[in-house]
Amino acid sequence: MRELLTDWGGDSFRFLHQDAPKILLILIVALVVIRIVHTLTRGMVALRARHLPPGIRGQQIQTLASVINSIASFVVWFLVGLTVLDRVGINLGPLLASAGIAGLAIGFGAQTLVKDFINGFFVLLEDQYNIGDAVRLAGVKGTVEDMSLRRTVLRDDDGTVHVIPNSQVQIVSNMTRDWSQISLQVSVAYGEPSDKIIELLKQVGEEIRHDPQFADDIVADVQVPGIDRVGNGEAEYLVLVKTRPRKQFAVTREFRRRIKECFEKNKIQAGLPGRVFVTAQPASN
């Protein structure tokens, strides 16, 4: 018993004086490496406030920074775990061999997980969408709040959070890439002169285009192609406005308000509401 305690004491003394400092040093180096990576990624995100080269978007940098942080943390702590196990005297050969066999078995049952990572990699590589984009994925529409190689997190208009595995992303509909377009249909009475209506709509478009409050939100001249539909005692005119992403809603509301005021000022009659015709049937004998 005394010899056992002596051996145990010797091993403990050797561990505290030889292995423990090395393990502590490994942990400190790991924390420093992770801290450096996080500092570099924060610097990448800070580039959004500066001039970016063509083809590079702020959201893309933020997304890549998030993924780099996750991958770097996993790799560093995995290596730390292996090193610590080796320092405490655990033979890693059989452990790695067992892990390889177990990984092979798990791989057959985790094909969807592998597909998640592959799809996530190509989403990032091809810049299909980024954090902050409004997208439609797997039948769900919302704003991208977070994304990794495995899944994408969306929040829809009513605040519901949707977590979508990247393997389910087959078609990406990105509604905030570069610019958005408003297709506004304006209905007026059939008898109103077409040239006058087109001129008034162009006038409203010029006013809002040069309004300091909306000038930065509209990226091209307002177009009024003309009459888009005629029927039911009314004519419908098409107005096209290109705006910056996410600015189309405010511009649409302001456009409609100004059109209403313009029509009221110029005595333009709005489109007639739908009518229901009731035909009296003769009484049967």
Which contiguous run of DSSP H or E holds residue 272?
Answer: none
Strands 172-174, 234-243: parallel, antiparallel or unpaired by DSSP?
unpaired
Encoded tokens for 148: 């990794």
Residue 208 confidence (pLDDT) above 50: yes
β-bridge partners, 134: 143
- Tell me which amino acid residue 107 is: G
pTM attached to this predicted model: 0.54
Encoded tokens for 126: 């091809």
For residues 239 and 255, is the Cβ–Cβ distance under 8 A?
A: yes
Q: Of 43-57, 61-75, 175-189, 190-204, which has the strongest mean pLDDT?
A: 190-204
Which contiguous run of DSSP H or E holds residue 228?
Answer: strand 223-231
Tell me the helices (H) and strands (E) count for the chain, helix number first.
7, 8
- Tell me which amino acid residue 188 is: V
CA distances in angstroms from 62 to 59, 114, 153, 175, listed in the order given: 5, 24, 15, 19
88-92, 152-156, 165-169: least confidently modelled range = 88-92
For residues 207 and 265, is the Cβ–Cβ distance under 8 A?
A: no
The span from the CA of 245 to the CA of 102, in Å, is 47
| Residue 59 CB contacts under 8 Å (≥ 6 apart), including other chains | 130, 131, 132, 133
Rounded mean pLDDT of 220-228? Answer: 90
Residue 84 confidence (pLDDT) above 70: yes
